[in-house]
């Protein structure tokens, strides 16, 4: 595709049932950021950092919902090389 028009990353804490856990200054258990990814880029940085607490488990979802018209659309392939 030429441009991913509606890309979204969602971080969900796996500690929802532990009432004594605070997620990064009382944020909710789910964080979400949306962005666009132009065709000439193979990576992007989020506008603001995601907040992850040490020694906790998270589920990361990358949602690619809508893309611009490309010459050869195909299924997306995702590679996450580091989370730090």
* Two tokens, residue 14: 């796996």
Q: Residue 75: inside a domain, yes or no?
A: no
Looking at per-residue pLDDT, the higher value among 28 and 11 belongs to: 11
Whether this prediction's pTM lies above 0.75 is answered by no
Q: Residue 33: inside a domain, yes or no?
A: yes
Q: Residue 77: inside a domain, yes or no?
A: no
Q: Residue 80: inside a domain, yes or no?
A: no
Tell me: the pLDDT tens digits for 33-63?
888 878 777 777 888 888 777 777 888 888 8
Residue numbers of the domain that contains 33 = 3-67
Q: Into how many domains does the chain fold?
A: 1
State what percent of residues in the chain have pLDDT above 70. 57
Q: Residue 81: inside a domain, yes or no?
A: no
Q: Residue 82: inside a domain, yes or no?
A: no
């Amino acid at each position: 595709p030429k441009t991913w028009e509606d890309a979204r990353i969602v971080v969900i804490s796996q500690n929802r049932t532990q009432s004594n856990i605070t997620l990064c200054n009382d944020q909710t258990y789910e964080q979400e950021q949306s962005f666009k990814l132009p065709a000439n880029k193979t990576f992007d940085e989020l506008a603001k950092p995601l907040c992850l607490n040490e020694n906790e488990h998270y589920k990361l979802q990358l949602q690619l919902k809508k893309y611009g018209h490309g010459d050869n659309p195909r299924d997306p392939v995702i590679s996450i090389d580091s989370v730090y």
